[in-house]
C-alpha cells in the first residue's frame, strides 16, 4: 500500500491526477544485468499501476551512495513533484547493509515518498508467530 496522497497540496501548482509516478534506479556494473534489473523493476511498478517515468542506470555504482551521480538525479526528482516512488531491484542497489536501505526508506516516507526494493527485503513474520516461538 502506498503512502502517496492523491490530493492537491502544493499552493499555486496544478494538481496532478492519475497513478503515482515512479522512477527505476539500477546500480550494477554489468550492462546486461543492469538491463535485466531495470526490466524487473519496471514490471514490478507497472503491476502496481505505477507510471514509470524514468530509469536511471548508475554510471558509478562502486562509489558511496552520496557521491553517485545517478542517485543524486533520483533524489532531485523525488525532492520535487516529478516522482513519488523510487524502485530498486534489491536493497544493495543503495548499500550492502539492509539497515541503511531501511533508514533511507524512512527518510523517503518522511518526505511522503516511497523507496521500495523488488527483492531482498525479508517478509515480516505473521502476527502471533513470534509469540508461539518463544
Q: Which domains does the chain have, with CATH numbers?
A: 21-119 (3.40.50.1390)
* Residue whose grid cell is 542497489: 93
pLDDT (0 to 100) of residue 81: 81
The residue ranges of DSSP E strands in 20-102, in sequence order, are 21-26, 51-57, 85-88
| pLDDT above 70 as % of the chain | 78
pTM for the whole structure = 0.79
Q: How far is CA 95 from CA 10, 15, 68, in A?
A: 32, 35, 12
Q: What backbone torsions phi and psi does residue 23 show, to the nearest 5 degrees?
A: -125, 150
Regions of the chain with pLDDT less than 70: 1-16, 122-134
Task: Give the span between the Cα atoms of 74 and 127, in whole angstroms.
Answer: 35
Q: Give the pLDDT confidence score for residue 17 in this predicted structure.
A: 73
Strands 51-57 and 114-117: unpaired
Polymer length of the chain: 134
Q: What pLDDT is stored for residue 108 in this prediction? A: 93
Angstrom distance (rounded) from CA 111 to CA 2: 13
Distance CA(35)–CA(26), nearest Å, equals: 9
Measured between alpha carbons, how far is 134 from 127 in angstroms, rounded to an integer? 13
51-64: buried (b, 16+ CB within 10 Å) or exposed (e) per residue?
Answer: ebbebbbbeebeee
pLDDT of residue 130: 47
Nearest to 73 by CA among 7, 36, 23: 23
Amino acid at each position: 500500500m502506498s503512502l502517496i496522497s492523491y490530493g492537491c497540496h502544493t499552493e499555486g501548482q496544478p494538481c496532478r491526477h492519475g497513478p503515482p509516478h515512479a522512477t527505476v534506479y539500477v546500480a550494477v556494473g554489468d550492462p546486461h544485468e543492469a538491463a535485466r534489473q531495470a526490466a524487473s523493476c519496471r514490471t514490478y511498478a507497472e503491476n502496481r499501476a505505477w507510471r514509470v517515468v524514468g530509469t536511471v542506470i548508475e554510471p558509478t555504482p562502486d562509489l558511496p551512495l552520496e557521491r553517485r551521480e545517478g542517485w543524486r538525479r533520483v533524489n532531485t526528482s523525488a525532492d520535487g513533484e516529478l516522482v513519488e516512488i523510487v524502485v530498486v531491484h534489491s536493497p544493495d542497489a543503495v548499500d550492502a547493509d539492509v539497515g541503511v536501505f531501511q533508514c533511507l526508506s524512512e527518510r523517503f516516507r518522511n518526505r511522503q515518498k516511497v523507496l521500495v526494493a523488488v527483492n531482498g527485503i525479508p517478509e515480516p513474520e505473521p502476527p502471533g508467530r513470534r509469540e508461539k516461538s518463544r
